[in-house]
Chain A
Amino acid sequence: MNPIAFLTIYRYQMARTWRTLFQSVFSPVISTSLYFVVFGSAIGSRITEVDGIHYGAFIVPGLVMMSLLTQSVSNASFAIYFPRFTGTIYELLSAPLSYMEIVLSYTAAAVSKSILLATIILLTASIFVPLHIAHPVWMVLFMLLTATTFSLLGFIIGIWADNFEKLQLVPLLIVTPLTFLGGTFYSVQMLPPFWQTVSLFNPVVYLISGFRWSFYDIADVPLSISLLVTGAFLAICLAILAWIFKTGYRLKQ
């Protein structure tokens, strides 16, 4: 591991973030506020409570997770797709860097950015509803684990995509639906039995459940299963990446 090279890539990626900080921060703050107005106030005035928790507060972990997932995927996929698109990838490929070092530095940057945004969303949410965090260490752990896993997924998408449409297709067709169906705005237990069973195949359910547990001590599925599923997802992403680098898929001919 070369610390200088790692920091170089990390800083370069983060510099891009700072340059676009205003739009990166502004739009999630606006959209979170909108969710609170629509779901928290409009719908929340009818539902009031889920599992004994104020509805506005109940949706916070889901909203944070949702932005963590989408941001991680889009940051990482764009970060690696862009040099492939412009051709500057030659520089990474001809530098004395292992693939491991490249993935680590890109992932670290994508994770930092999405955690930064998640934190901002959490702060925005605290303006609207009283927040209570029962297990802060677990909360941070879940954020890190999720951001890492989905940044790796984004990295894979960024390597697989050979045009901008594909780059946006996966987040649009897979990640967003999975998040919406993952219990962001409801408890899985509120669904009819059939859909509860279907939900068990959605990895995002486990993430949101575990994350919500770290806030309110309530969960749709046991914590251990949440961790297990997230860990398995992480392992799958790592395995795919290992294969990509072994074969040079879409990177080296």
Chain B
Amino acid sequence: MTHNIISISGLSKTYPKGFEALRNIHLDIRQGELFALLGPNGAGKTTLINLICGIVRPTVGSVSVGGFDIITRYKQARAMIGLVPQELTTDAFETVWATVCYTRGLFGKRPDPAYLEKLLRDLSLWEKKDSQIVTLSGGMKRRVLIAKALSHQPHVLFLDEPTAGVDVALRRDMWQLVRDLRNAGVTIILTTHYIEEAEEMADRIGVIRKGELILVEDKVELMRKLGMKRLSLQLAEPMTAIPPSLAGYGLELSPDGNVLTYTYDSQSERGMIAALLDTLNRLGIAFHDLNTSQRSLEDIFVSLVHEDAAP
């Protein structure tokens, strides 16, 4: 049985100058899952994360983490969370070791040098533990931020665009780490605008656009939809409505009546196309061209996020 570690309900955020960054978000994150939040720049991903972590205040709605409300029981809620922020914000003159110990201390946890050593080794930071952060490269700083977020052994890890501007080696290490954490039972929520990442890593995918969560789906389910093919028929004569005898095929007619589209699962098509074409022939519906296409997650994503915003 899975239960929800994060529950978001009716959450909206309007920034002080009146900009509505999030609108009526309802979302449950399951314990132990890897949830990818996809969306173009400015969609509200960071706002959502910052809200859950206590950096931004909600305007209306509620959020609980591990059953603790983030406003009334913020201490218990925040104690469960590790956050890797989008921006590379670190102290400059502290050493890697000092900054990691600092974060652990902020979360009220006793020092545990053995755990922190393992953490830094896993992130290939151990050699740099006595270096000042200012001397590290961007990729190394990103690792430091991850180490800080994990320093207090959180149950939930937020990764806000962890791979933006990151080199291949770090990206690979990072995914390995994320997999290990997930296997260890840590719930992970990451934002990205790289679809392949979400496709490869996530259990579930959410798409956010202009502050609205427009889709939340199991990746497997999404991939099944990806397996769907579309057969488009360019009709010789425009059609005003789909004839009743074609009702069983779930056809779509384009608004101008010129294109009839049949969506099917290429693995279990079982002669339906032949039957469809046969029926069309009997009804005397002619077409002068036909083509098939496969939708990718990319297409789904692009069509979702580029549709004009609903009112």
- How far is it, in angstroms, between the C-alpha of A5 and the C-alpha of B15 when the chains are bound? 30
A165 within 8 A of B: no
Give Cα A220 to B134, complex, Å: 51
Interface assignment of A97: CB less than 8 Å from any CB of chain B:
yes
Mark each residue of chain A from 1 to 26: 1 if its CB lies under 8 Å from any CB of chain B, else 0: 01011011100100100010000000
Contact among A5, A15, A87 with B106 in the assembled complex (CB-CB below 8 Å): A5
Q: Given A15-B98, A94-B54, does the pair A86, B89 have CB atoms closer than 8 Å?
A: yes
- Measured CB to CB, the closest approach of chain B to A181, in angstroms, equals 38
Of the candidates A15, A93, A94, the one having the most CB atoms from chain B within 10 angstroms of its own CB is: A94
A153-190, CB < 8 A from B: none
Whether A8 contacts B106 in the complex (CB less than 8 A), given A90-B55, A252-B57, A253-B15, comes out as yes
Q: Mark A117-134, 1 if CB is under 8 A from B, else 0.
A: 000000000000000000
Residue from A7, A88, A95 in contact with B78 in the complex, judged by beta carbons closer than 8 Å: A95
Smallest CB separation, A81 vs chain B (Å): 14
Q: Are A252 and B75 in contact (CB under 8 A)?
A: no
Q: What is the bound-complex CA distance between A131 and B75, given in angstroms?
A: 50
> Does any Cβ of A come within 8 Å of B284's Cβ?
no
Q: Is the CB of B102 within 8 A of A12?
A: yes
Beta-carbon contact of A5 and B54 below 8 Å:
no
Name the distance in Å between B157's Cβ and chain A's nearest Cβ: 12
Q: Is the interface of A mostly helix, strand, loop or mixed?
A: helix
Which residues of chain B (19-60) have a CB below 8 Å from chain A? 50, 53-57
Tell me the minimal C-beta distance from A32 to chain B in angstroms. Answer: 28
User: CB of A116 within 8 A of chain B?
Assistant: no
Cβ-based interface call for A37 (8 A): no
With A2-B108, A252-B55 as contacts: A91 and B78 at CB distance below 8 Å: no
A residues 79-138 touching B (CB-CB < 8 Å): 86-88, 90-98
Contact indicator A94/B105 (Cβ below 8 Å): no
